[in-house]
Amino acid sequence: MDPGSTSSRDQDALGASVARVVQLTNAPVDQARFWLEAANNDVNRAVLLYHEQTGASHRPQVQPHLPTVPTTRPPQPSSRRAHRGGAGRRGGLFGLFYQVPLALARTGIKLVLSTAGLGANLAASILPHSLLQALEGAVRRLADSNRDLSPHEAAQIFARGFAQAYGNVHPTWECSSWHAAASRAHQRFMFLFVYLHSPSHSDTAEFCQNTLCHPDVVAYIDHAVLAWGGSIRHSDAFRLANQLGVSCYPCCALLAFSGSRLRLIASMPGPRSPEQLLAGLRRAVDRHSTQMASEQADHNERNYTRRLRDEQDAAYQESLLADQARERERENARLAAEAEAKAAAEAEHRAREEQEAKRLAAEQAEAARLASKARKRGMLPPEPAAGTAGAAQIRVRMRDGSTHQRRFPAEIALQTVVDWVGSMEEGPTGKFSLASTYPRRVFRGEALQESLTQLSLAPQAALIIHAEDD
């Protein structure tokens, strides 16, 4: 394909687009070309940008970005205003450059600043000094505003500037992005009143002073809707104006959520009186208040259902926790009873073991005692016959009152008599000694090794049991 023919066709298409913009706007060719380039060769967008910035009363028929909704149109402007044309705006290329929205003008600032140094001397030698100073001031202002403001900062600047310009009697503006303001309105089931501010438009100051700041308008807006305003020189408001397809300023709109979607309820472009603005707002609010009330009732019903479900869930959880607590108490009681029964069983087992040990010890002690008695009996000397010379008859009275007697050789030690007493089945069980009653004497220690004769217990003697633990 011939590159020359392609370039020629592109030039022809560009020329046709420029001619179309001139036809729709009656703007000079150089301005039409500027707006077409700013709109990326989109004819409809270029026409919208032209009318948006110049405030021309004639609006082209272009397709908006949102579905068409009922629009409250202002009364037809007077012939004086209709034929005023561009008299109220700055003339020439400088005026056009100054009125371009910052959202578009910023894209060329870096190029202007990069070439400013190279063309400064040439511009000083060609342009008048006053025009050169104005251009330099415009470039500085654009450079200072080159920083993109956040929607929150832009809303604050607009609200502060509006109050400074038109006084403190004005709608209460939401200082946030329009998305955030719309969300708050949705949460409160309110309409969002939107004012798109074009600072350079010839009707802006009169509309703001006499209509938006009218006490009746302020009272209605603050009472019935949530208000948000923004300057189209800031990106947040500029994008909203593009989305709404605004082509005439000043412009007011009413937004509301329908379900989860935001809808344009009414668009009110162009200047209007306080009565006309109030009438348009009231008609739009009355027309859609039933749907808003229905959505609010549905929302309240959903909230009630959710709260009821939450309360039921909470009651169930409380009951479940109570059941679990009772179950834990029963389990703890069961474990305590088991532990108590186990402890009692162990105590009983220990008692039985102790009793058994005592019994065994008693049996062993008894067996040892009987063995000792038997051993002692086996070691006793034979009992002398009655009348045997050198024999001593010993009579012992037990503690239970019984009396036992036996004959022993007079020369044996008293220990043999003690062993005899200890070997008796009826004998004392603990430690004991033998004692005489008269004279009173207890025989223990070395006396046990003395003979009966030495102790004067022969040929006969009567003894008693003296328990050593007494």
Q: pTM of the full predicted structure?
A: 0.46
Contact 444, 433 (CB under 8 A): yes
Domains in the chain (CATH in brackets) are: 391-467 (3.10.20.90)
The larger pLDDT score, comparing residue 19 to residue 193, is at 193
The larger pLDDT score, comparing residue 207 to residue 17, is at 207
H helices of 423-466, where?
none
Contact 200, 89 (CB under 8 A): yes
Rounded alpha-carbon distances, angstroms, from residue 463 to 400, 430, 436, 453: 14, 17, 5, 15
- Give the model's pLDDT for residue 163: 95
95 falls in which pLDDT band (50, 70, 90)? very low
Side-chain-side CA neighbours of 175 within 13 Å: the count stands at 8
Of the listed ranges 8-17, 169-178, 434-443, the least confidently predicted one is 8-17
CA–CA separation, 464 and 442 (whole Å)? 9
Torsions phi, psi for 196 (to 5 deg): -100, 115
The tens digit of pLDDT for each residue in 282-302 reads 999 999 888 888 887 887 888
- Give the model's pLDDT for residue 116: 45
The tens digit of pLDDT for each residue in 396-447 reads 998 888 999 999 999 999 999 999 998 888 878 788 899 998 888 999 999 9
